[in-house]
Amino acid sequence: MSGAVFVTVFTPLAGALLLVWIRNRNRAGWLNVMVSASTFAAALALALEVARREVVAGGGFRVDAFNVYLLVLTAFVGMTTSIFSRPYMQYVCATGKTSARGMRLYHVMFQLFIFTMLLALATDNLGILWVAVEGATLTTVLLVSLYRTPEAIEAAWKYFILCGVGIALALFGTVVLYFAAQHVIDEPAAGLSWSTLHAVAPQLEPSIMSLAFVFLLVGYGTKVGLVPLHQWLPDAHSEGPTPMSAVLSGLLLNVALYAIVRLKMLVDGALAATDTPYLAGQLLMGFGLASFLVAGLFLHRQRDIKRMFSYSSIEHMGLMTFAFGMGGPLATFAALLHMLVHSLTKSAIFVTVGHAAHIAGTQSIEHIRGLIRTQPIVGWGLLIGVAAIAGFPPFGIFTSEFLLLSATMQSQPWFTVALLVGLAVAFAGLFRHLHPMVYGVVPAGQQPVPANMIPVMVHLGLVLWLGVSIPVFLAHWLDRATGLISGGHLL
Amino acid sequence: MTSSGALLPAALAVGLALLSTVVSLFSARAPRVLRTLVMPLFSLAGLAATGAGLAALLDGGVSIAQLPLGLPWLPWMVRLDALSGLFLCVIGVVSFAVGVYGRGYVRGFEHGRDPLPPLGGFAGLFLAGMLLVVLADDAFLFMVAWELMSLSSYFLVAFHHDQAANRRAAFLYLLMAHIGGLTILLGFGVLASFGGGFAFDAMRGAELPFGWASVAFVLAFAGFGMKAGLVPLHAWLPEAHPVAPSHISALMSAVMLKVAVYGFIRVVFDLVGQFHWQWGVTVLVIGSVSALLGVLYALMQHDLKRLLAYHSVENIGIIFIGLGMALLFLATSHALLGTVAFVAALYHTINHALFKGLLFLGAGAIQHSANERDLEKMGGLLRRMPWTGLFFLIGCISISALPPFNGFVSEWLTFQAALQAWQLDSGVLRSLVAIAAAMLALTGALAAACFVKVYGVAFLGRARSRHVRRARPVPFSMLAGQGVLALPCLLLGLLPTTFIGLLNAVPQQVLGHGLAQATAHGWLWLTPVSPETASYGAPLVAAALFAALALGLWLMGRGNRRVRRCDAWDCGFAPPEPGMQYTATAFAQPIRRVFGLLFHIEEAVEQQRDGRLRHHLRVSDRAWGIFYLPVTRVVENAARQVARLQSGNVRIYLGWSLATLLVLLWIIA
Amino acid sequence: MSLEHLTLLQQLMVVLAAVVLFTSFVLLEQARLVAAIHAFAWQGVLVALVTVIVAASGRHTHLFFSAALTLGLKALLIPWMLHRLVRRLELDRHSEPLRRPALVIMAALALVIFSYWLVLPIVQQELIFTRNIVAVSLAVVLIGLLMMVIRTQAVAQVLGFMSMENGLFLAAVSATGGMPLMVELGVAFDVLVAAVLFGVFFFQIRASIDSLDVDRMNRLTERVDEQ
Amino acid sequence: MTLAAWGLALLQALLYVALAPLLAGWIRKVKARLQNRRGAALWQPYRDMRKLFGKEARMAHTASLLFRAAPYIVFAATWLAAAAVPLVATGLPTAAIADVIVIAGLLGLARFFLALAGMDVGTPFGGMGASREMLVSALAEPAMLMAVFTLAMTAHSTNLVSVVDYQLNSTGMLRPSYLFALSGLVLVAIAETGRIPVDNPATHLELTMIHEAMILEYSGRHLALMEWAAQLKLLLYGALLANVFFPWGIAQGAGMGELGLGLVVVMAKLALLGAALAVSETVLAKMRVFRVPAFLNLALLLALLGLLSHVILEVGA
């Protein structure tokens, strides 16, 4: 029973309640940064605690090796994004895209969103997990339509409807899960506690569990953006304000995938004795591969820069899903690492893209030209960020993809061909659009803007560090998480 | 970290390269830094690498170290043995020359619009990457270094990014490099899953069945071949190499391709460690085709750097002919002959690094002083820049495989290996080797023709444009850089026995036996197989050549030595205009007619508005139509089909969710 | 408690469940928005009744509370809100007949049968009764989704969404005797917020494309060349 | 390698230089006779040479240093190549220094500078000649190598002396490969030495000439050296054909009598070859430049056939 969890989770909520009353948008921006910073500090404290004791549990929360690093990551990305968003939203407000009310809404919702993320990660109760993920939708949907353009409203509507339906299905899955649990656990209140269920997983009725898993997979899978449930994702990313895109891509998708993996652990336990023990894994592999390949092809037809990178997010989520589905220590480790480096890199890219769009005054790719001439730091940031996301060493994504490919080569060699093709296609898709944007001559009237690239540098620096050498403590965390998920260790 | 002495200079080299990267960040403020600090550091790194390589070659031992980097269970390991030592030397010498040359060359960029840090910084990373590739002792570090090399060189290719063509070239280069990297990675994956680990030692221990071994071989061959520029995977090479700044082009063409050769040797000869004649045939065929097509396409070019790039394809082809024969002979248990072919390939690797670097530096000098890459506008440069002319001539003679320079030695060795084909049992293999030898001979002759064209059009005759007539001589540092490469071209031609004695450590270590007979008759005679079979007294030939020259000059000198200058006679026609000279295209026209089938030729005569006729000729690579465009078409179509998913109507999206749900429920029930 | 008493309750529950299913058919078929809203309200009432019965059957007393919650939320508040919205959006005369009603009904029936077939493998004896209820609620959920697919009217889609929620709730109540209170509160809160947000969106959409026809929202698509 | 052997080698080298113009003269004479002319005396070439050496050399203003150095390089390279081909005796240490590949290389070096010299002055004809010369050589050189390789493979050595020795010692067996190689080499020799039907040494008709077009700007001693080098080349090829395919009569020892006999025999063979060449040149007409590749492809084909028929028919099982 520890306070760190509570502080970590509820600081953003408090911040949100505080921000409701702040009218001065400048001060609100600063407060936003401070709240996020303190959340991050609390998360670090929590991490230390978890490092000392394997598991921190109590008050309906349960923090183990798997979710602690996601908690820290979430808090960290939240902080850097808030740092970026302070000046950026000032600029947005200055351009008149949104009003003072909009700004307030933005700040409140930002903190609420972080709160739901942390809650979903930290809770032990699958019901609360559902509530939190649904809450994430509700908090972000208004931000997607913040600019009130027809596109924005359309995107928000699609986001709302699709995720609402998905999440409803997830709730049905949860109910069915609870239904299955009731015949094993006598004390009904504990029937949704993940730890309890995990303990009794082998006794759960397999057929009901697989039924439940399908609903949960479709439900949370919608949030992860698995093809063919992904359609909301590019719209929401491209039309919302850039900081929102950064956290959506960097955090929300992770959390949804996290939920799926947690549930997969339960289902694997329940199905272990049946004749289809790997059902969940196979489903995940199928969805992952489909998303990976399809998203890679989508990249080739993009006209909007943020849309493009949201498709690349789908691609990477597909890769992780595939890895988790494949199971086995190596693949799982790779997937966990990939979660980490992908959200760091992708949020950095979105921040850079925000500046790029600011420079060009538009998000459409064919009007963004010659960035490294206009503003070298932004141009190079984008170039290097994309190189990192495309899996070039010495950045961390290369490490995780290297591990993933070798794991695949060991367990299912023939899938490597698909992975190879997919990576190549996605790579081509990214760079064919990136090239004219960063290189070439500067179009008339394209001016440098006051850009705050420090978050980007920090993120990319971290990714670089992870690529060159993974610090021991992190390696141990990931390894413990690997043990939790796959039952095997690497170290 | 257990390090051993021989590795220290190598580590020093890498460190210096990285240091040059760091330093060059300051060149944004002070451009002079690039010239005064970065380039010297670069050449120092080259020196250190050369030293380390020589040390490794001389003692022939193996030194291993483990870096405190990488994954906890997969640390980065480095290893310095004879093979890597040899390639360290190659990298080192060329980059030393490039560093010296660069001092003068980068001055031209100081007033350009582009910021300088990328130029120096990525050059340093590029060098570091190549060094690490050669040093790596586990697949992880190897891949990291490999991709680092590709990525940094890509940034250098994209340095002049104003023209869309250059951007396209850079994109194509990075794309193919990435794909190649992935294939190599998969190849390692195969080895690792049998050897149970990514350390090279584990892979050496792996016992692969023929099927999987062939898979690994094909993957490695495809990946490294793509980097080396073997036909049909060469398309990026003639696009990317000319685009980069010339000293970088020199590095790429002269060194990076060799790193690919190193990778191939390391994986196939060392790690897989088993030889099959099927592999040999594959490599031999691809190699010969690359050699012939490379030189033919080179003949058709009139952009000097593009032409040189195509010659890289040719020479890589020759190297792989050697390697293919080595595989063939080793597979049929003719160890000695395999070694001869292997050594021939290695020797040609060194040679090509030297003279191709030299030629690219020369091209850079021309670009620097005349700002011209198009042969059609050059002419008479020998009078404007005599030293560059001399060095370039040396390069041309070497690459045309003419005695007494180095190119001839390796070609001679390759022929010697091929001439032992009669020892093979299967008539098919024998005739295959014979045909390969024929193609090699044809290639050599065509290369000579091509460089007569280059030198004759560029340096001889009369200037075909004003700015070339005004070309100014290049600074000393650039001449020195060329000289540094020209001298070894001569030395390797004069003293093959010495260098082969040095090389011997490599086959000793990789194949287990060297060329015992190489110097059976003393250092004057090179006798790779046996003194009876063949011998080449390079020093004596050179000596006799110079003696005969001296004699001739002396005899003539005694008589009237004065020469009267007059107008060209030209069969008594009016004194010819520069425009009447044979152009590069005209020179190659007969050959274009003879080999017309191999090119994709668009020729047209169109009338312009002012009524003048204009001849328009475009010779392009058939590989595009055959291999590349179909792929892009497939991807585009697939993307169009997939786009239907994103139809824009929320109800259809909901339909997708419903369908997915039902299908899944149906699956599990 | 005596057996037949229980069976009576069970019979009652089965009947109610069947009626709930019927209401969602009505919902699916209903052309006029207002009438659809009323049908939805009735569905809410029925679900609340089921909840009461389960609560009355003993063990889960907290279900009375959630029954009240359901009644207030699903039967009164949300229908009222939607009604108001419809009036303010001048949609109360709006009617949108189905294009191929027979086909839709077929599909819906197929879904019902599918959901029964789906729960068949759940074999434990004491589950037979609840599993049928689960089948019904699953059918309600799927029909709600189907309704969202075929209705081009934003409000109608929301109705479909809400009836999905009803189906969920039905399942939760009848199969498991309700979720833990904490969760229920959270769910209810989310539903409420969702309803409010839907209201907000109606006006936003209306402002942007002066209609609530979702088929007219297709700016964001990848099919450039087909357009 | 005894001193005597080296002396012999030197002697042979000098012999080449001395005999080269004679062969040229002989061919001219025979041709003249076949055309019912008296023709110039046998030693006319020597006279021309002396005259040219006596004249002053002229150079175009636009000519560079390379133009001046080329004649010496061409001559030296050709001479060296010749010095490695046994003429009268087989005991030739130079053959161990330079085997057939090196000979081809040296000839290539000579050709390289010849062509460069042609392009140096910057006249249209020079470029034309260089371009055509390189075309011819590009096809002829591989053919020559292939033909020689056939022998080398048979003798298991690329050293000409050992090839000749092998020929002498092997019992006269009929080899299909030799037939092909010989005919291929003959065609190559005609092309490389610029004789009809590929080129016409006696014409300056602008559009048909190849070799002459390259040395068009030369005069005086430079021209003399160039001509001499050409004659050396002719003799070299003659000796190659004569001694490698029909080595009988060549001196294997170093005895005076043997050497004398060898000299006589080789001169006889060369005279025969020269006569044959003259005859062919009188009956054949020069072909268009773009028919030449067909001619050379035939040579290449023959040479390759020779090699293949060797590796397939004559080696191993």
Does residue B101 have a pLDDT over 90? yes
Q: Which of A259-263, B162-166, C172-176 has the lowest mean pLDDT?
A: C172-176
- C187/A207 touch (CB, cutoff 8 Å), yes or no: no
What percentage of chain B reaches a pLDDT higher than 70?
Answer: 99
Q: Which of A19-23, A153-157, C177-181 bottoms out in mean pLDDT, i.e. has the lowest?
A: C177-181
Residues of chain C contacting residue B651, judged by C-beta atoms under 8 Å apart? 148-152, 214-215
C1 pLDDT above the threshold of 70: no
Q: What is the rounded distance in angstroms from the CA atom of residue B531 to the CA atom of residue D162?
A: 11
Please report the pLDDT score of residue B561 as a whole number: 67
Residue numbers in A near B642 (CB within 8 A) = 294, 297-298
State the pLDDT at residue A91.
Answer: 86
| Nearest alpha-carbon partner for A389 in A470, A460, A285, A286 | A460
Domain extent at residue D248: 3-314
* Strands B74-80 and B63-71, bridge-based pairing: antiparallel
Q: Exposure pattern of C106-127 as b/e (b: 16+ CB <10 Å)?
A: ebbeebbebbbebbeebeeeeb
Stated length of chain B? 669
**Residue A88 in contact with residue A354, Cβ under 8 Å?**
yes
Q: Pick the residue from chain C with its C-alpha nearest to A126.
A: C183
Does residue B649 sit at the C interface (CB-CB below 8 Å)?
yes
Q: Give the helix ranges, DSSP H, for A272-328.
A: 279-298, 305-326
Contact indicator for D150, B441 with CB cutoff of 8 Å:
no
Strand partners, B63: B80
Touching subunits of B (3+ CB pairs, under 8 Å) are A, C, D
* Between D231 and C4, the higher pLDDT residue: D231
Calculate how close chain B gets to C124, using CA atoms only, in Å: 16
Strands D57-60 and B563-566: parallel
Instruction: Identify which has the larger pLDDT, C122 or D31.
Output: D31
Buried b (16+ CB within 10 A) or exposed e, B195-204: bebbbbebbe
Among C168, C198, C209, beta carbon nearest to A168: C168
Q: Is residue B451 part of a domain?
A: no
Please provide the average confidence, as pLDDT, over all residues in chain B.
Answer: 90
Mean pLDDT to the nearest integer, B501-516? 87
The string of pLDDT tens digits covering residues B201-237 is: 989 888 889 999 999 999 999 999 999 999 889 999 9
Supply the DSSP string of chain D, one letter for each residue: --HHHHHHHHHHHHHHHHHHHHHHHHHHHHHHHHTT-----TTHHHHHHHHHHHSPEEEETT--HHHHHHHHHHHHHHHHHHHTS-SSBS--THHHHS-HHHHHHHHHHHHHHHHHHHHHS--HHHHHHHHHHHHHHHHHHHHHHHHHHHHHHHHT---HHHHHHHHHHS-----HHHHHHHHHHHHHHHHHTT-TTT--TT---TTT-SHHHHTTT--HHHHHHHHHHHHHHHHHHHHHIIIIIS-TT-B-S--HHHHHHHHHHHHHHHHHHHHHHHHHHHHS-PPPGGGHHHHHHHHHHHHHHHHHHIIIIIS--
Interface test with B, best of C148, C201, C224, C225 (most B CBs within 10 A): C148
How many domains does one find in chain D? 1
User: For residues A370 and A360, what is the distance between their CA atoms, to the nearest angstrom?
Assistant: 10
Record the tokens describing residue B127, joined without a space.
């060098």
Strands B600-607 and B63-71: unpaired
Mean pLDDT of A122-133: 92
Domain that holds residue B626: 622-668
Q: What's the pLDDT score for residue C59?
A: 66
Per residue in C73-95, pLDDT (tens digit) is: 888 999 999 999 888 888 877 77
* Residues B58-82: tens digit of each pLDDT: 887 888 998 888 888 888 999 999 9
Give the CB-side neighbour count of residue D223, counting CA atoms within 13 A: 22
- Per-residue pLDDT band for B374 (boundaries 50, 70, 90) equals very high
Please write the tens of the pLDDT for every residue from C16-73.
888 999 999 999 888 888 899 999 999 999 999 988 888 887 666 778 888 888 888 8
Q: Cβ contacts (< 8 Å) between D59 and chain B: which residues?
A: 563-566
Round to whole Å and give the CA distance between B288 and A236: 55
pLDDT band at A189 (very low <50, low <70, confident <90, very high): confident
Query: From D84, which residue of chain B is nearest by alpha-carbon distance?
Result: B541
Alpha-carbon gap: B291 to the closest alpha carbon of chain D (Å): 14
- Of B150-159, B340-349, B524-533, D14-23, minimum mean pLDDT range: B524-533
Cβ within 8 Å, pair A158-B646: no
Would you call D97 and B525 a contact, using CB atoms and an 8 Å cutoff? Answer: yes
Contacts of D60 in chain B (CB under 8 A): 565-569
Residue B648 lies in a domain: yes
> What residue type is D285 in one-letter code?
A
The residue in chain A having the minimum alpha-carbon distance to the alpha carbon of residue B117 is: A376
Q: Is B in contact with C (3 or more beta carbon pairs below 8 Å)?
A: yes
Size of interface A-C (CB pairs under 8 A): 136
Q: Which residues pair with C38 in a beta bridge?
A: none
B566-613 pLDDT tens trace: 888 777 777 778 888 889 988 998 889 888 888 888 888 888 888 888
Cis peptide before A394 (omega within 30 of 0): yes
Does B629 reside within a domain? yes
pLDDT at residue number A434:
92
- Tell me, what's the ipTM? 0.91
CA distance D275 to chain B (A): 31
Nearest to B587 among D127, D290, D310 (CB): D127
- Total tally of structural domains belonging to chain B: 1
The contacts of residue A232 (CB under 8 Å, 6+ apart) are: A155, A158, A159, A162, A163, A222, A225, B653
pLDDT band at residue D234, thresholds of 50, 70 and 90?
A: very high
pLDDT at C3: 40
- The whole-number pLDDT of residue B3 equals 43
Residue A232 pLDDT:
92
Among A49-58, B126-135, D242-251, the range with the most confident prediction by mean pLDDT is B126-135
Mean pLDDT of chain D: 89
Q: Using pLDDT thresholds of 50, 70 and 90, give the confidence band for residue A37.
A: very high
| Cα three-residue angle B509-B510-B513, rounded to 5 degrees | 65
Cα–Cα distance for residue pair B613/A102, rounded to 1 Å: 67
Chains B and A touch (3+ CB pairs under 8 A): yes
D142 interaction partners in chain B (CB closer than 8 Å) = 438, 441-442, 444-445
Q: What does the pLDDT look like over A50-82, one tens digit per residue?
A: 888 888 888 889 998 888 989 999 999 999 999
Phi and psi at C100, nearest 5°, equal -120, 80
* Confidence check: pLDDT of D37 > 50: yes
Chain C partners of B647 at a C-beta cutoff of 8 Å?
A: 218, 221, 223
What is the CA angle B318-B322-B326, rounded to 5? 165
In this complex, do B654 and C148 lie within 8 Å of one another by their Cβ atoms? yes
Residue B667's CB: how many other CB atoms inside 10 A?
13
Q: Mark yes or no for CB contact B645/C142 under 8 Å.
A: no
**Chain-chain contact of D97 with B535 (C-beta, under 8 angstroms):** yes
Average pLDDT, chain A: 90
Q: C150–B651: do the CB atoms touch at under 8 Å?
A: yes
Mutate which of C61, C114, C130, C220 to disrupt the A interface (most A C-beta within 10 Å)? Answer: C220
Q: Is this model's pTM higher than 0.90 or not? A: yes
Residue B577 touches partner D, C-beta closer than 8 Å: no
B643, B657, B662: residue with CB nearest C223:
B643
How many Å lie between the alpha carbon of B40 and the closest alpha carbon of chain A?
A: 26
Task: Tell whether B96 is covered by a domain.
Answer: no
What residue type is assigned to position D214 of the chain? M
pLDDT at B399 over 60: yes
User: Hey, are the CB atoms on B665 and C225 less than 8 Å from each other?
Assistant: no
